[in-house]
Structure 1
């Protein structure tokens, strides 16, 4: 029996509300910065709650990251898996989002006489297909959405090209080396793999290089510069260069989700997490190069400077802004219309902005108390009346 034939099961530790687990994707987010700062852990210590990376416990395999079957798990990561979870698996709560313009590129071999999307008419474009059915096929959705958008911009459709499907095992989650505990920090995962050069994360690149296909989709900025650095690949289209922000959905925005059980029965835990994300996001906004150096350890930018260039205009404080909500809706609608989820839902109903709003209020209150203490005779909080500073 091969790895792909082996039944996969998402295993978890017993539920204990004195613990909160976190998981994230190797993307731009405050959580990926915080895993090195530890500010979120401090917020939970104030509550007497243990906060840890979900793979720290051997009972948790990798699949809770995709199916959210831990009630006390908070996830900050790519858009498509949590949409799938909320639509078809279990109810979750949308808490915030961080958006990076990474609509995607069309990659071809560097010496091929292909210079624009129109040159791909009648050519072969690859698309991956995960054989791991327990999890969402987020790579394929991203490729599908990006390819379709690029063709549409150039007055073409899928009928104008030959789409070549590449099934792959997508089974690294089940390999013994990836299940060795404990992992105290997501960065430990990437210590076990040369993730910036591991083609398991770029399953179509080999097919492009050897000429099996003529073009493949890849992410703008991330992956793009790693692939170009080989000298074997060039980009003939880049959606991130267009002014149309609605075409920048590429498993982004990264979103924060928790279970409805956590939100309804233990709101103080959600609030602690969101306070930390605001604090870390503000720090990252003020120290973009330091944040870039941290994120470079986990993401797929070329190096720390490339990471900085990718995040320098990104607001690292999570939000549920109107644009973020629209982009989440765009991603969800694509998944519905192309059969990647079975059930539709209203994104506005998914969001619970009260947690972000309350967290922001508490962060500002704490900041006021710190700053006012040295100026007022007896200190003071926001409820101090009749006192003017200055």
Structure 2
């Protein structure tokens, strides 16, 4: 693979007078090309010659970073994260643009107590389903649970009216899924939606059983949720003033995804650091071959799946206004990034 620092004339350093002193990135604790690139120092190498620092919001004290991961109010920010906050920010009028989408299968299941007798989506009829409630600006946890449970019900031709929905207040100092899994353990609810590596580990600790495995559903529309598809967004101001920087940043993500496809063991190590889970949790959450699925695109299929999520979120009150996904999406930065990467590789022989 060519060196991340190699450049063609099209990627000459930006004018010091015009370039922002810092570019920011943020990502969720899940598999992302952003996380891979950050772990390998690719952003620093790409922009060092410009005198541009590239920093992670995750490394900044909360009182400084505020809630930028959710609001995207920081104009120099690249965000690769859940679609619920990204759509919410856009619905509130933040001038972001959608420049890429990924689809990474991340274990999505409905859990029940051992010995409950619930072993399929049809048996969720009449059951008490946990819906967490967090005191945050955009309750993406609640949105995830609702979307996941709706998806599970749909596999049996059931609707929301066929189940009982139980609010579960989140514990202020609890971990991910802690309140819902405690409610399941204590018999307050009959079923809980969980996803990801930490959820796999937490479920095993309480001996919960899988009643519905959304990952095996042949129709991926049943798995549309906060991280499927996962958007990469930038601010319109950055795109207007520095389209070259946006293209270069995206080209680093493309390179990182290419590298990940050839290095499964190293990706596993990075994912443990990114998710905070152990080797068993990561292995249980991400299917073999997941290291080859970090590439971003704006395909018709992924845009359609995001439109499905937008309709769901708006219908359930998570968005302040509808979001036209097609208007929000700008394919030009990704086209420019692919052309830039191809030119670099051609120049390197």
| TM-score of the two chains, using structure 2 as the length reference | 0.86
Aligned length: 327
- C-alpha separation between the residues in 1 aligned to 2:176 and 2:108? 19
**RMSD value over aligned CA atoms?**
2.2
1:167-201 C-alpha deviation (Å, 9 max, x unpaired): 2366x6xxxxxxxxxxxxxxxxxxxxxxxxx6345
- The residue that corresponds to 2:313 in the other structure is 335
In the TM superposition, residue 203 of structure 1 has moved relative to its aligned partner by 3.1
Give the equivalent residue in structure 1 for 2:108. 104
Report whether the alignment pairs 1:117 with 2:95.
Answer: no
CA distance in 2, matches of 1:201, 1:44: 38
| 1:353 paired to 2:331 | yes
Q: CA deviation at 1:234?
A: 0.6
CA contact 2:134–2:170 (8 Å) conserved in 1: yes
Structure 1 residue ranges (4+ consecutive) displaced by more than 6 angstroms after TM superposition? none
1:288/1:222 Cα in 2 relative to 1: closer, same or farther (>3 Å)?
A: same
Provide closer, same or farther for how the CA distance between residues 300 and 143 of structure 1 changes in structure 2, counting only shifts above 3 A. farther
Contact 1:226–1:300 (CA under 8 A) maintained in structure 2: no
Check the 8 A contact 2:260/2:291 in 1, yes or no: no
By how many angstroms is 1:352 displaced? 1.3
Residue 79 of structure 2 corresponds to which residue in structure 1? 75
Q: Which residue of 2 aligns with 1:386?
A: none
Return the alpha-carbon distance in structure 1 between the equivalents of residues 218 and 265 of structure 2. Answer: 26
Deviations 1:294-350 (A, max 9, x none): 112222665254466355364222111222212211111111122211211221111
Alignment match, 1:388: none
Measured in 2, the distance between the counterparts of 1:231 and 1:256 equals 35
Any gaps of 5 or more consecutive residues in structure 1?
Answer: 1-15, 173-197, 372-390
1:1-390 matches, within 5 Å, as: 17-58=20-61, 60-102=64-106, 104-132=108-136, 135-168=137-170, 199-219=175-195, 222-230=197-205, 232-252=207-227, 253-299=229-275, 303=279, 305-306=283-284, 309=287, 311-312=289-290, 314-371=292-349
The CA deviation string for residues 256-302 of structure 1, in whole angstroms up to 9 with x for no partner, is 11111111112222122111101111101111221122112222665
Higher-Rg member (1/2): 1
Task: For structure 2, list consecutive stretches of 5 or more residues without a partner in the other structure.
Answer: 1-18
Deviation at 1:224, TM superposition (A): 5.0
Is the Cα contact below 8 Å between 1:28 and 1:254 reproduced in 2? no
Are the structure 2 counterparts of residues 147 and 342 from structure 1 closer, same or farther at C-alpha, using a change threshold of 3 Å? same
